[in-house]
Amino acid sequence: MAKKTNDEVKEFENRIKAAAGRKYVLRLYVTGMTPRSLRAITNIKKICEEHLKGRYDLEVIDIYQSPTLAEGEQIIAAPTLIKRLPLPLRRFIGDMTSTGKILLGLDLRPRKAKTSSKNV
């Protein structure tokens, strides 16, 4: 079991090293300057500065100002964050307060190892 955990840690460390040079391209779709929109902007900027400093492009798009952009991305709820690069494309909906889920979705945090109930 310890070997598997060590292998998972090494795999995660290798992914972090590979991601170190990659630039993240993010788009945050909001609806005006509502409290929820402002909270989402603040939260995602904080996450980016803490974990992706110098390696991200964040574009904030107000769907009231640019409805065609939102339509092209098929935005059905706001705020919505779209991670365009690095692949795979991912979407996050809400005010971005679930930092752990955002980090996991951006591949910036290791997944928890599944425990087995089998006795060997």
Total-model pTM: 0.74
Peptide bond into 35 cis (omega under 30): no
Q: Which domains does the chain have, with CATH numbers?
A: 22-105 (3.40.30.10)
The tens digit of pLDDT for each residue in 67-119 reads: 998 899 999 999 999 999 999 999 999 999 999 999 999 998 765 655 544 44
pLDDT of residue 30: 98
Contact in structure between 83 and 24 (CB atoms under 8 Å): yes
Tell me how crowded residue 51 is: count the other CB atoms within 10 A of its CB: 16
